[in-house]
Chains A and B, each alone.
Chain A
Amino acid sequence: MDTAFLIESAAKVACVLGFILVGVMLTVWAERKLIGHFQDRIGPERVGPFGILQSFADMLKLLLKEDVIPSQADKIVYFIAPALSVITGLVALSVIPFGDSVTLFGRTIPLRIADVSVALLFILGTTSLGVYGIVLGGWASNSKYPLLGGLRSSAQMISYELAQGISLVGVILMTGSLSLVEIVRQQEHLWFVVPQFFAFAIYVISGIAETNRAPFDLPEAETELVAGFHTEYSSMKWAFYFLAEYTNMFVVSAVAISVFLGGGHGPFLPPFVWFLIKLGAFLFFYIWLRATFPRLRYDQLMGFGWKVLLPASLLNLAITATVVALKG
């Protein structure tokens, strides 16, 4: 535990944080631009070339906006909730292997913040804590629609968490490890998306539901719930919820890439570049879905989670376990 290690870790944390903040802004811009084109519009184009600075301008606007706190709100919890949302998302990123390693100043620096032996469980733990930010935000606003929206989205997240977690167990059984670094290493020749295709499909679907994105964006069903749990939030606190949503998209994509799509493995290009390409593709998929599918009804959503995804993931787990046991 020497000083160099501490400095190295701090620098890596700063890099990941910067990467996420810039990445989120670019994703928001890309989303608006792509959705625009999907709908035969142009999308943002006024601020900077191709409107690329639009998100930066929006962020400045949010920073300078008045911060309105409802008079009957529970002040402490109202403050903590958006921060909790962002923190749980960011903490999960600490165990993602972004690539192989680089040599800087004579030190070999692995491109990840930490190689934890229980990385996958750690990520499931942080996502399960992510529910707090939403449910508390809805409760602390002390207002009807936020409370309903908060309950709805937390019920949704809890339901889909199960299928999401169980879909990952198949890969854990095949690799015999919970460490993401080890799981990525074992995919050098064959990505796990091939033998575990159903698990991959279940993971992606429940990941989208887990991040409250379209077509599972029930918490933000404007026609019924105004804006759901963040109705009463404004200014930077609202921006924190926004940041949390996109950070969680990054986490879900990064886990899917590491567990099913071979992490940084790929021909010719260095691992980090491959990771970025796959991440970009995954985020594009998210946006594509949003532009394609209408929102589900709430009972359809819960029914699908409990009656289709959960049994399917259990079946997949049982089959994988049998095959692994027979192979010895």
Chain B
Amino acid sequence: MIDGVLFTVFALTAVGFALTMVFRRNPVHCALSLVAVLLSLSGMFILLNAQFIAVIQIVVYAGAIMVLFLFVVMLLNVKGETPLLTPGAAKGFGFLFALVAFVELLWIALSSVGEGAGRGTAPPVGPTFGSPAEIGRILYTTWVFPFEVTSILLLIAVIGAVVLAKRKFS
């Protein structure tokens, strides 16, 4: 029962703040709404028994990446958004992206219908599911290749940032 209540609360806050993120003109308000969305999602991860992912979501996205976003927005001191496209073009692109996203979601929903009789219920999970030890184990065994590729990608990004910054100041 209480899970249902909490899920409703998190879902409503996530959707509500996602809407304010899109509709607010002030970029700082948009960034803050996104932080609120991320926090609600982290609450949902906890309901799904994935505490580690939930906390990492807060530490990495809400605590680090969004702070940098906010820094940039604040330092640029943007007063309200200046439209990038003409209203007609913006509407056209918006419609196109919404259509793609809708088709994608529909496709996922339809393709998962046929999977076995246990439709609508998650497969049972072990007692260690979502624990840091379990995530670490599968990250370094089953998914070690994508994991290493990601780390190299991040390393390239770091080096790129240093190179760009150096060029500007020397």
Contact = CB atoms under 8 A, between A and B. Distances in A.
Contact of A135 (B29, B51, B71): B71
Interface stretch (A39-47, A115-123, A273-281, A303-311): A115-123
Contacts of A139: 28, 74
B110 to A, nearest CB: 35
Given A125-B55, A125-B58, A135 B132 contact: no
A76 interface: yes
B59 A154 contact: no
Contacts of A77: 28-29, 32
B51 A118 contact: yes
A52 B26 CA distance: 46
A176 B131 CA distance: 12
A124 interface: yes
Given A77-B28, A139-B74, A154 B2 contact: no
Interface residues of B, number: 24
B146 interface: no
A77 to B, nearest CB: 7
A288 interface: no
A2 B61 CA distance: 34
Interface in A1-22: 1
Interface stretch (A97-105, A126-134, A197-205, A256-264): A126-134
Contact of A121 (B35, B59, B133): B59
A76 B131 contact: no
B67 A178 contact: no
Interface residues of A, number: 26
B56 interface: yes
A116 B75 CA distance: 37
Contact of A118 (B2, B29, B55, B62): B55
B64 interface: yes
Interface string B131-144: 11100000000000
B52 interface: yes
A116 B52 CA distance: 10
Interface in B44-71: 51-52, 55-56, 58-59, 62-64, 67, 70-71
12 contacts: A77-B28, A77-B29, A117-B52, A118-B52, A118-B55, A121-B56, A121-B59, A128-B59, A128-B63, A129-B58, A135-B67, A154-B71
Interface of A: 1, 74, 76-77, 80, 116-118, 121-122, 124-126, 128-129, 131-132, 135-136, 139, 147, 151, 154, 158, 176, 178
